[in-house]
Structure 1
Amino acid sequence: MKYRIGIDSGGTHIVASSFDEQGQLLKQVTAGPGNIFLDQTGTIRRLLEVINELTAALGKADCTRILIGIAGLETNGNVHEVTSELQKQLQLKVELVSDAQLALINGLHGQDGTLVIAGTGSIVYGTCQGQSYRFGGWGNLLDDAGSAYKIAAAATQIALRQYDQGKETTLGSLLLQLTKTATMPALVKKYYQLSREEIAAFAKEIAVLAASDHLAEQVITQQAAALAVEVVGLLERYPQPMPKLLALSGSVLTNNQQFRVTLLRQIKQTYPQIQAHIVTDNNSCGVLY
């Protein structure tokens, strides 16, 4: 039975899915982080592991296509090198795109439009009249507005500023709990020892707190507004007629209604014609389109 493999290699985990010729899911496997800019050796190793697991189960000779979207690929700038390495190890043809490009293909089913991703990191991507566009997505130190990482970082900054003013806050207490520390100085020490992914994981609890705490709500609102600025920045670059489709992807956008509503409200102040929808399936499904 002929089948194809789609892989979403993101900052938090890798999802590899195999589909038959009718687009039905046959088998799905997962692995750890897959950002090639942060860890090229580990990412390639984990990609080989998930592909080999699928081909061992389904038959290597029947695999007709492998499409992989990899976080950090554009920043790393070594598409040909990584492609050659994977093809040499697998003895199969492999196509590589960025994880954002894969998400764009999947979220818009191959149509023109815009994709905004807010998960561990963030990026805005688009396609119009055969041209690709990008805005932001330059990593947690330089950008990633509205990402889970930036939500956690902004919350920590606000809590520390309140602490400096001699104020105890519910937000600060939550962060102490999440970092398993007893004081704000101890929190800072622990914070600098945590990985990007570990810090980003705090965003989920901060979003829950935002329903009843004004400081946490302020964090969510400000980060959503910051990401909206990047979306509008990309929309301004399109030739006319501008594509109206806007796909929303990533854990922050799919799980946080307050964030999503704030983002769309700000975008529609400038572009009321935008038609947004949430991407619910894994981006490994992009191989189907």
Structure 2
Amino acid sequence: MKYIIGVDGGGTKTEAIAYNMEGKEICKAATGYGSLIIDKKTALNNIIQAIEICVNTLKENELIGIYLGLAGIEAGENKKLVEKAVKSKFNTHVEIYNDAELAFYALLKGEEGILAISGTGSIALGISKGKKIISGGWGHLLGDEGSGYNIAINAYKRMIYEEELGLEKSKLTKTILKELSLQNVQDIKGIVYYSAKDEIASIVPTIVKLAEEQEENALGILKEAGMEIALMVHRLWKKLKLQGTIKVALKGSIITKIKFVREAFNAHLLNLIENVEIIDEDVSSCKGAYYLAKQKI
């Protein structure tokens, strides 16, 4: 039996899934983070280990290609480093993409359209007639609008706004201070400037809970996030000059799991683009490898 392997490597874990030529999952493995930006040696070891588990499990079969989608792969010589290591180890066809592109092929099944991702960070990717354009993806210092990180930062900014103007503390401010065991608003500087992105974004569930209680600041922040993601998609639609019904796939817990973000996204996008088909499926980014292989074989 011939098979291919898809690898999705991010800042938290690396997932490798083997598929037969009908697209059926036949083996799965998970290891630690696969983003070389964090640490090249460790990430590369995690990537190799995840692939190796599948190869050893399926050793009686023929591996005909490995397709990797890795966070931060464009930085420096990362792509060459991974390609050399994987080819040397497994002696097969290897193709490397960023993690967003592999997810694009997984959700859109190899067809043209747009993928919007909103988790801790945010990015949108559009592909049409061989043309590939990215919107967002600038990282937390330059962008990440509509992301979990950005939602948290906007909540902190609202707290600062109240403090600066001497306003009465809102329910949002009181709840976050209590949640983080902080005495006053000044203390949030320690959270923002000395914590990792995912730690900063950890207050998002608290903001969602407040929105469910109709706290106006929390509601406004989440609705703004949905609007920002819709604007990223709209920018790509204009640049790619897409016609007819536009397929827009969604990935990431912020856009797929938080109803206030999703409702604002849907409403704003449908106001900007008339004919939209929204795709929201629970599928691994690794499945993108199958559709990429199918195009090439």
TM-score between the two structures when normalised by the length of structure 1 = 0.90
- Offset at residue 89 of structure 1 (A): 4.1
CA distance in 2, matches of 1:93, 1:134: 26
CA distance in 2, matches of 1:75, 1:278: 30
- 2:169 alignment partner in structure 1: 168
Report the AA paired with residue 257 of structure 2: N
Report the AA paired with residue 148 of structure 1: G
- 1:5 alignment partner in structure 2: 5
2:224 corresponds to which of 215, 222, 225: 222
Rate the CA distance shift 1:192–1:168 in 2: closer, same or farther, 3 A.
same
- Offset at residue 140 of structure 1 (A): 1.2
CA distance in 2, matches of 1:182, 1:58: 56
Identity of aligned residues (%): 26
Give secondary structure in 1 for the equivalent of 2:34: coil
Give secondary structure in 2 for the equivalent of 1:133: strand
Give secondary structure in 1 for the equivalent of 2:138: coil
- 1:270 alignment partner in structure 2: 272
CA distance in 2, matches of 1:172, 1:34: 36
Give secondary structure in 2 for the equivalent of 1:168: coil
CA distance in 2, matches of 1:269, 1:139: 27
Q: Is the 8 A contact 1:113 1:243 kept in 2?
A: no
Rate the CA distance shift 1:166–1:76 in 2: closer, same or farther, 3 A.
farther
C-alpha RMSD of matched pairs (Å): 2.3
Rate the CA distance shift 1:262–1:109 in 2: closer, same or farther, 3 A.
same
- 1:20 alignment partner in structure 2: 20
CA distance in 2, matches of 1:58, 1:73: 27
Give secondary structure in 1 for the equivalent of 2:283: coil
Deviates more, 1:116-125 or 1:262-271: 262-271
Q: Is the 8 A contact 2:245 2:275 kept in 1?
A: no
Structure 2 unaligned spans of 5+: 292-297
TM-score between the two structures when normalised by the length of structure 2 = 0.88
Rate the CA distance shift 1:172–1:131 in 2: closer, same or farther, 3 A.
same
CA distance in 2, matches of 1:195, 1:207: 21
- Offset at residue 31 of structure 1 (A): 2.8
Residues 69-88 of structure 1 correspond to what in structure 2 (within 5 A)? Answer: 69-76=69-76, 78-88=78-88
CA distance in 1, matches of 2:77, 2:136: 16
- 1:37 alignment partner in structure 2: 37
Q: Is the 8 A contact 1:70 1:97 kept in 2?
A: yes
- Offset at residue 150 of structure 1 (A): 0.9
Give secondary structure in 2 for the equivalent of 1:269: helix
- Offset at residue 59 of structure 1 (A): 2.0
CA distance in 2, matches of 1:209, 1:146: 18
- 1:51 alignment partner in structure 2: 51
Give secondary structure in 2 for the equivalent of 1:231: helix
CA distance in 2, matches of 1:90, 1:174: 52
- 1:153 alignment partner in structure 2: 153
- 1:251 alignment partner in structure 2: 253
Deviates more, 1:240-249 or 1:142-151: 240-249
CA distance in 2, matches of 1:218, 1:206: 10
Report the AA paired with residue 199 of structure 2: E
Structure 1 unaligned spans of 5+: none
Give secondary structure in 2 for the equivalent of 1:236: helix
Deviates more, 1:147-156 or 1:189-198: 189-198
Rate the CA distance shift 1:118–1:186 in 2: closer, same or farther, 3 A.
same
- Offset at residue 142 of structure 1 (A): 0.8
Deviations 1:109-133 (A, max 9, x none): 0111111111121111111122112
Deviations 1:198-235 (A, max 9, x none): 22333233223212211111111112222222211111
Residues 1:210 and 2:238 aligned together: no
Give secondary structure in 2 for the equivalent of 1:167: coil
Report the AA paired with residue 188 of structure 1: K
Residues 195-206 of structure 1 correspond to what in structure 2 (within 5 A)? Answer: 195-206=196-207
CA distance in 2, matches of 1:27, 1:203: 34
- 2:194 alignment partner in structure 1: 193
